Structure 1
Amino acid sequence: MEILSLLLLLDLTSFSQALDFWTSHVDNPKTRISGSSHHYCNVMMKQRGLITRSHCMPVNTFIHETNSTLINICATPSVSCGRLSLERCNKSSQSLKVTYCYTKSFARPPDCGYRAKIDFAIIGVICVEGQPAYLLQP
């Protein structure tokens, strides 16, 4: 019974990591929000729970691609995440549609002001059990 509980716990941990990735970083199709691209960031950061009463997340990336496109990143050959990292990363084979949201100077909760940069970029992820679980921020 203990082994079954441990396996269930490990599975829930993987599920939780993947859920955090999809909730924090995926917006496809891109949510239509009236106003400027900066307004998009302000609304989405609040809507996705990325602003707390005591913290403005300084940067976040929203990816505007299909789930299958993102899952397929995990099928690419993995590479080292960096000189000091033991983690293995996977990178998209093509540029993907993204919106970067950056806090403006002196942003303080609950009114964290964001500026947006709409771009196409190669993204890097750490995969867990074949699913993107962590996004490597630029």
Structure 2
Amino acid sequence: MDQPAFSEAQDLLHHQTDRPRTKISAKHKYYCDMMMKARGLATDKSCEKNKTSVHSVSPTTRGLCEGPAVTCMKMSEFYNCHLIIFKVIQCTLHLVAVPPHCYYKSVIFQRDVRIVCAGKHPVHLDE
């Protein structure tokens, strides 16, 4: 299996984690609005409908891809997956929101998240 490209790790960092951290608290009413804009998922032309972000992980977090793993699929290729409990935030687009006014509702919870690994490098969070 090929090692992940640097861009895959950067995609994980940029789109699926809150790194760098959004400048307001995750409990703030406009948190998802700001986070989605900062990551280019809410623009003048389009609004991503749903996004789950993990708060306590980055591609450089040590130990995510160590220990027992289960086989999983990513884009029809087999990888190692690891189940880890994380604090996550689900951002869901309000029904009345239209670009460029992308407004989101946020829900914070903890759940098992599958981390897709290539070697010892996390490359994808399985939503």
Output the TM-score relative to the length of structure 2.
0.75
Deviations 1:29-57 (A, max 9, x none): 85341695441000011012122333211
In the alignment, the residues of structure 1 paired with residue 96 and residue 10 of structure 2 have an alpha-carbon distance, to the nearest angstrom, of 30
Contact 1:29/1:64 (8 A) holds in 2: no
* Higher Rg of the two aligned structures: 1
* Correspondence list, 1:1-138, <5 A: 14-27=5-18, 30-33=21-24, 37-67=28-58, 70-81=61-72, 86-93=77-84, 95-137=85-127
Q: The residue matched to 2:5 in structure 1 has which SS?
A: helix
Higher helix share: 1
Q: The residue matched to 1:19 in structure 2 has which SS?
A: helix
CA RMSD across the alignment: 3.1
In the alignment, the residues of structure 2 paired with residue 86 and residue 77 of structure 1 have an alpha-carbon distance, to the nearest angstrom, of 19
Deviations 1:52-105 (A, max 9, x none): 3332112212222154885422224332436xx543341334x21111111111
In the alignment, the residues of structure 2 paired with residue 67 and residue 128 of structure 1 have an alpha-carbon distance, to the nearest angstrom, of 15
For residues 128 and 53 of structure 1, do their structure 2 counterparts lie closer, same or farther at Cα, with a shift above 3 Å needed?
farther
Percent identity over the alignment is 31
Alignment-mate amino acid for residue 31 of structure 1: T
Contact 2:12/2:124 (8 A) holds in 1: yes
In the alignment, the residues of structure 2 paired with residue 96 and residue 128 of structure 1 have an alpha-carbon distance, to the nearest angstrom, of 20
Output the TM-score relative to the length of structure 1.
0.70
Q: Which runs of 5+ in 1 are unaligned?
A: 1-9
